[in-house]
C-alpha cells in the first residue's frame, strides 16, 4: 500500500469527525470526560482463518510446514503484541464489565481515554500497521538473503561437482563406472537440494502473502473502526 493511499485514508479519518446519530445517543446516555474529539469506531475483531485469503494460490489449505513458517512470521508482525494494542486494551478491557455500552462506544471511549492519558492518536494506531508491514518486508529480505546463501552453498557447489565429475569421465574412461556412480549420487543431492529450496521459497511466499493480506485486512478494519 503506497504512502499516498495511506495518507488519503488518514485524511478521510481526520475530516470525518461528525458523530453518527447512534454515537450521539450513546454519548448522551453515557457522557464521557471532556477530551479532544475522536471518531466513533467499533472494537477490533480478529480475522478469521477460514477466509479464502488463507488458502494457497492453488486453492488448497496450507501444509503443516508452511503453517509453521507463517506462525514464525506472525509472531514478529502481530498487532496484538504491540504497545499500541496493549494501550488500547488497557482502557478497553475494563469496559467489558459495562453491558449497557455497545462495542463501538466501548472502543471509542477506550481510544479517547488512551489519547487523554497516554497521548495515543489515530496516527499512532495506523502507523503501527505500517511498522508491521516494514517488519514483514524485513523478514522477507532476511529470508531472501538466507536463501541466496543456501543456494550458493547447496546448489552452486553441487553443480560444480557435477561438472567436475563429467569432465573426469571424459578424461578417465577406465574409471567411468566409479565416476558415473559418483555423478548419480551428486545429481541426486542436487535435485534434493533444489527441491528443498524451492519448497522453502514457496512456503515462505505463501506465508508472506497470507500475512500481507491479513495486515491489510486488519489495517482496513482499524481504519473503519477509527472513522467517525
Q: What is the pLDDT of residues 149-173, one digit of tens each?
A: 888 788 888 888 888 888 877 787 7
Domain spans in the chain, listed from the N-terminal domain onward: 3-45+60-226
User: Residue 227 above 60 pLDDT?
Assistant: yes
Task: Tell me how many degrees the CA angle 107-130-7 measures, rounded to the nearest 5.
Answer: 85
Q: Which residue has 455500552 as its cell numbers?
A: 101
Binned at pLDDT 50, 70 and 90, residue 37 comes out as very low
**Which positions ≥6 away from 121 have C-beta within 8 Å?**
115
Binned at pLDDT 50, 70 and 90, residue 60 comes out as low
Q: How high is the pLDDT of residue 165?
A: 83
Residue 51 DSSP class = S
The whole-chain average pLDDT of the chain stands at 76
Judged by average pLDDT, the poorest of 43-57, 87-101, 185-199 is: 43-57
Amino acid at each position: 500500500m503506497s504512502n499516498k493511499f495511506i495518507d488519503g485514508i488518514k485524511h478521510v479519518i481526520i475530516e470525518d469527525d461528525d458523530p453518527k446519530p447512534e454515537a450521539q445517543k450513546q454519548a448522551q446516555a453515557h457522557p464521557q470526560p471532556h477530551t479532544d474529539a475522536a471518531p466513533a469506531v467499533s472494537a477490533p475483531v480478529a480475522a478469521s482463518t477460514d477466509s479464502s485469503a488463507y488458502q494457497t494460490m492453488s486453492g488448497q489449505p496450507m501444509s503443516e510446514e508452511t503453517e509453521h513458517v507463517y506462525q514464525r512470521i506472525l509472531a514478529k508482525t502481530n498487532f496484538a503484541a504491540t504497545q499500541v494494542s496493549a494501550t488500547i486494551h488497557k482502557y478497553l478491557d475494563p469496559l467489558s464489565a459495562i453491558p449497557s455500552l455497545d462495542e463501538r462506544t466501548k472502543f471509542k471511549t477506550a481510544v479517547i481515554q488512551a489519547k487523554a492519558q497516554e497521548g495515543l492518536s489515530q496516527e499512532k494506531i495506523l502507523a503501527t500497521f505500517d511498522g508491521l508491514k516494514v517488519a514483514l518486508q524485513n523478514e522477507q529480505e532476511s529470508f531472501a538473503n538466507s536463501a541466496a546463501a543456501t543456494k550458493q552453498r547447496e546448489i552452486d557447489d553441487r553443480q560444480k561437482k557435477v561438472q567436475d565429475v563429467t569432465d573426469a569421465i571424459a578424461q578417465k574412461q577406465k574409471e567411468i563406472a566409479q565416476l558415473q556412480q559418483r555423478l548419480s549420487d551428486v545429481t541426486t543431492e542436487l535435485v534434493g537440494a533444489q527441491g528443498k529450496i524451492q519448497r522453502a521459497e514457496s512456503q515462505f511466499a505463501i506465508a508472506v502473502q497470507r500475512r500481507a493480506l491479513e495486515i491489510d485486512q486488519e489495517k482496513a478494519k482499524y481504519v473503519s473502526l477509527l472513522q467517525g
